Amino acid sequence: MRIKLRKGKQRELINSIKNQHCFTWEEFADFLCVKPAALKEWYLENCLLPIEIFEKLNKEQNFDKFVVERKDENWGKSLGGINSPGSTKTIKKPKNSKELSELIGIILGDGNINFHDRKNAGTYSLRICGHQINDFEYLTNFVSPLITKLFQVKPKFYSSKVSKAFYVIANSKELVNFLLNMGLKNGNKIENQVDIPKWITKDSNFSKACLRGLIDTDGSIFRMSKKDPKLIRMSFKNHNLQLLKTVRHTFIKLGFHPSKIIHDETIFISRQKDIENYINEIGFHNQKHLTRLDKIAP
């Protein structure tokens, strides 16, 4: 659905939010997860605002009084790429597995689910974000094929022009609904305190796969001390305290000895036998960790 505002008010709304946040135009487009060209068309009032963009800009509802018409999504051509209507294409619905567990770990680490459900139109997307250089191979050669294999959905890629962010994006209503049924939630994972589904933590193989997804996205591996370069440490950092508690408990169930949660955001694995067991029993799929390990391993 598209929102038609009184003439001049669409430009005024866009300008007010841009000035409020002191955005450049490229930063503003990145904030909205759209292409700069789409934002320009909206600002020039050549195209109407998609309802989800209008709601994001109009959180204080100051511009509701200027809405003169709500048009069906079939009106006009959709702009903005990422914010196009969610696909209703039937997907493959995978059974619980190590691969699905790993993807859920990846989503809990660097992903999010977004949907805006409306009567006549909606947007539904799974987005996984990483670094344009450090995570490029992982996202394009592992994460994207994993999504395709599990759901028969081919993701798209999007590179930010104002940061080093790189996105894998899968637009699909059925995919989003499937992940919601798995226990994931729409919107901010930290505010929602999204946790690892219980069907994963009850199975050791599923747990290992999920932990691999989490470490590959929000983990790091490094030398513990310059004085002894042979000592290696792993860390997992996340601002979701509930997820941190579950990750720590899951490591303990698997026989590891993680540290206490430090500053409500980080746990460490420092025992060298634990590091060895992680590498041998769980391992990495993100090449940046393997490259780092090759550099620091004795």
Looking at the structure of the chain, the number of domains it has is 3
> Same domain for 127 and 74?
no
Each residue's pLDDT expressed in tens, for the chain with a length of 298 residues: 788 899 999 999 998 988 888 888 888 888 887 777 778 888 888 888 888 888 889 887 788 888 888 876 444 433 344 444 444 568 999 999 999 999 999 999 999 898 765 554 557 899 999 999 999 999 999 999 999 999 999 999 988 877 889 999 999 999 999 999 998 988 777 778 899 999 999 999 999 999 999 999 999 999 887 777 778 999 999 999 999 999 999 999 999 999 999 999 999 999 999 999 999 999 999 999 999 988 887 5
Tokens of 78: 């959709």
> Same domain for 170 and 140?
yes
The boundaries of the domain holding residue 77 are 2-83
Tokens of 19: 């000035």
Give a yes or no: residue 114 inside a domain. Answer: yes
Angle at which helices 241-253 and 204-218 cross, to 10°: 130
Give a yes or no: residue 226 inside a domain. Answer: yes
> Same domain for 45 and 106?
no
Of the residues 158, 192, 226, the one at which a domain ends: 192
> Same domain for 203 and 249?
yes
This prediction has a pTM of 0.71
**118 CB-near residues (< 8 Å, 6+ apart):** 1, 51
Instruction: Indicate which CATH number applies to the domain containing 56.
Output: 1.10.260
Cα–Cα distance for residue pair 80/42, rounded to 1 Å: 10
3-state secondary structure of 71: strand
Cβ-contact 259, 269 below 8 angstroms: yes
Cα–Cα distance for residue pair 241/195, rounded to 1 Å: 9
Of the residues 171, 192, 213, the one at which a domain ends: 192
Tokens of 62: 């100051």
> Same domain for 102 and 165?
yes
DSSP 12-45: HHHHHHHHHHT--HHHHHHHHTS-HHHHHHHHTT
> Same domain for 168 and 121?
yes
Give a yes or no: residue 90 inside a domain. Answer: no
Cα–Cα distance for residue pair 170/151, rounded to 1 Å: 10
Give a yes or no: residue 56 inside a domain. Answer: yes
Instruction: Indicate which CATH number applies to the domain containing 214.
Output: 3.10.28.10
Sign (positive or negative) of CA dihedral 158, 179, 39, 19: negative
> Same domain for 68 and 102?
no
DSSP 111-165: EEEEEEE-SS-EEEEEEEEEETTTTHHHIIIIIHHHHHHHHS---EEEE-SSSSE
Cα–Cα distance for residue pair 218/183, rounded to 1 Å: 20
Give a yes or no: residue 287 inside a domain. Answer: yes
